[in-house]
Chain A
């Protein structure tokens, strides 16, 4: 068995050496060694990678180029608006993911407002990805939560409760108590009471009991509120 060792960048510059391995075998061994230089492939720098060049690349026809542009724009300031505009028309899921990651890393007010705009889109993939991104920004998203919980669209309120589901913020319980106390929509309250089963404390007990009174004919609310009360009592 021979061992071919290649000092190679992935595409070019091959140099083969054959070495004799200690234990011979019938297998012709072809493990080759690669150098780690970057390869020259289709996304290689075709434009100057300054802010202006990256913003142009953000609209390139090749999604690989758009992904790298969205990723590299992180190092520039005042790019959130351009990223949000691209996000709202972008159709390639892989590019959407990278733009959302960059916006999450930036986390400025413009980025947050862009994520909130995604809650109103009919594109479920974009909406859900934006919800996941918002969960990663507890301090930045917190000032917007009260406003979102008052949104006239119950879907937006439910999506906001979805954001609270994994939001690491000390006000989560009080926001949820407010929802089950004030919100008239059954499904919004249902989403909130589910979550209170996990994060609720004794503070939530009166609101949970009042919720049961508000929706006496709704078996799911009765079940979920009882479960939350049981867990609070056990805790």
Chain B
């Protein structure tokens, strides 16, 4: 009978270093159980004899397929209103302040939320601006949100959410911008009309050419699912989609510094974001 699969301390350290280098995600010791559980699941699924054989496959598999599967397993793909709210705080307190300080004309400020998923992020940005950015009385803002999946875009346009999706939305805002529809929450028509949803494959350069002149891009927890080259190519397209001085916000476990050297790291009080330097074409 085969011995049960195990992961010893050295295995964990070796995996942790490798995974950090590949993804920028660092697992603290307190995450040991979480990491072990998913590693053992993948070791079983790939019929690996032990950690060493699994790690060798992970490390050297030319296609990188298993690494991608493991990344998917190690990351939680869940979206809800006001997820990683500190970045919205950074938007209204820091990023937009800098953008309007440099703005010489009154053309609208453009924000791109990609992927849109079912719309929680772009609508959340709209609500945040309405509630917490007084300068909205002086500046027009366009919010564009895109996804590769047309069915999810339709859901986003519809704007109907479960209680789970709005669980972190303050009640006062929930009452203000949604109405109850049975067990669901329907976002109001005015907000639905304010966000433009478009379909895009961000790894397709020709499609990316049609999305540009943005001042802020939210691209959270998407690049982590790409292979290295697609990640780099997408980051370069984002660079050209941004106005000089424009910002890009990634997920908390993602780091642009590991993908491309084009962007400047900006440490604001609320968040670390990445910027296309002012003056760069």
- Chain A interface residues toward B at CB < 8 A: 1, 3-6, 8, 10-11, 19-23, 25, 27-39, 41-42, 62-64, 67-68, 71-72, 74, 93-94, 97-98, 101, 104-105, 125, 129, 135-136, 138-139, 166, 168-170, 172, 198-199, 201, 230-231, 234-235
| Stretch in contact with the other chain, from B152-160, B216-224, B231-239, B247-255 | B231-239
Query: Nearest chain B CB to A184's CB is how many angstroms away?
Result: 28
Q: A199-B59, A235-B51 are in contact. List 11 more A-B contacts (CB 8 A).
A: A31-B130, A31-B141, A32-B140, A32-B194, A39-B213, A97-B232, A101-B232, A135-B228, A168-B64, A198-B14, A235-B14
Q: Is B183 an interface residue (CB 8 A)?
A: no
Known A-B contacts A34-B110, A168-B62, A231-B10; the reply to A105 vs B229 at CB < 8 A is yes
- On whether the beta carbons of B261 and A38 are closer than 8 Å, the reply is no
Q: Is B212 an interface residue (CB 8 A)?
A: yes
- On whether the beta carbons of B240 and A68 are closer than 8 Å, the reply is yes
From DSSP, what is the main secondary structure of chain B's interface residues? Answer: helix
Chain A residue numbers with a CB within 8 Å of B229 are 101, 104-105, 136
Q: Which 3 A-B pairs have the closest CB atoms?
A: A234-B10, A31-B194, A28-B137
B: number of interface residues (CB 8 Å): 63
Chain B residue numbers with a CB within 8 Å of A125 are 261
Nearest chain B residue, comparing its CB with the CB of A107: B229
- On whether the beta carbons of A19 and B236 are closer than 8 Å, the reply is no
Q: Is B61 an interface residue (CB 8 A)?
A: yes
**CA separation between A30 and B190, bound complex, in Å?**
11
Nearest chain B residue, comparing its CB with the CB of A22: B188
Total CB contacts across the A-B interface at under 8 A: 158
Q: Is B182 an interface residue (CB 8 A)?
A: no
- On whether the beta carbons of B10 and A34 are closer than 8 Å, the reply is no
**CA separation between A235 and B205, bound complex, in Å?**
44
Known A-B contacts A4-B140, A30-B139, A129-B261; the reply to A11 vs B18 at CB < 8 A is no
Query: Nearest chain B CB to A102's CB is how many angstroms away?
Result: 9
- On whether the beta carbons of A198 and B17 are closer than 8 Å, the reply is yes
Query: Nearest chain A CB to B181's CB is how many angstroms away?
Result: 14
Chain A residue numbers with a CB within 8 Å of B228 are 135-136
Query: Nearest chain A CB to B177's CB is how many angstroms away?
Result: 8
Chain B residue numbers with a CB within 8 Å of A11 are 107, 213
Chain B residue numbers with a CB within 8 Å of A104 are 229
**CA separation between A145 and B237, bound complex, in Å?**
31
Chain B residue numbers with a CB within 8 Å of A198 are 14, 17-18
Query: Nearest chain A CB to B27's CB is how many angstroms away?
Result: 16
- On whether the beta carbons of B59 and A30 are closer than 8 Å, the reply is no
**CA separation between A72 and B204, bound complex, in Å?**
11
Query: Nearest chain A CB to B65's CB is how many angstroms away?
Result: 11
**CA separation between A20 and B176, bound complex, in Å?**
13
Chain B residue numbers with a CB within 8 Å of A168 are 59-62, 64
Query: Nearest chain A CB to B5's CB is how many angstroms away?
Result: 14
Query: Nearest chain B CB to A177's CB is how many angstroms away?
Result: 15
Q: Is B193 an interface residue (CB 8 A)?
A: yes
Q: Is B8 an interface residue (CB 8 A)?
A: yes
Most buried by B among A37, A101, A169: A101
**Contacts A/B (CB < 8 Å), 14 sampled:** A5-B190, A6-B108, A20-B190, A33-B194, A34-B143, A67-B236, A68-B209, A74-B205, A97-B260, A101-B229, A135-B228, A136-B228, A168-B64, A198-B14
A6, A35, A41: the one within 8 Å of B140 (CB) = A6
**CA separation between A180 and B132, bound complex, in Å?**
60
B62, B188, B193, B240: the one within 8 Å of A5 (CB) = B193
Q: Is B198 an interface residue (CB 8 A)?
A: yes
**CA separation between A97 and B126, bound complex, in Å?**
34
Q: Is B262 an interface residue (CB 8 A)?
A: yes
Nearest chain B residue, comparing its CB with the CB of A36: B198
Query: Nearest chain B CB to A176's CB is how many angstroms away?
Result: 13
Query: Nearest chain A CB to B265's CB is how many angstroms away?
Result: 15
- On whether the beta carbons of A30 and B213 are closer than 8 Å, the reply is no
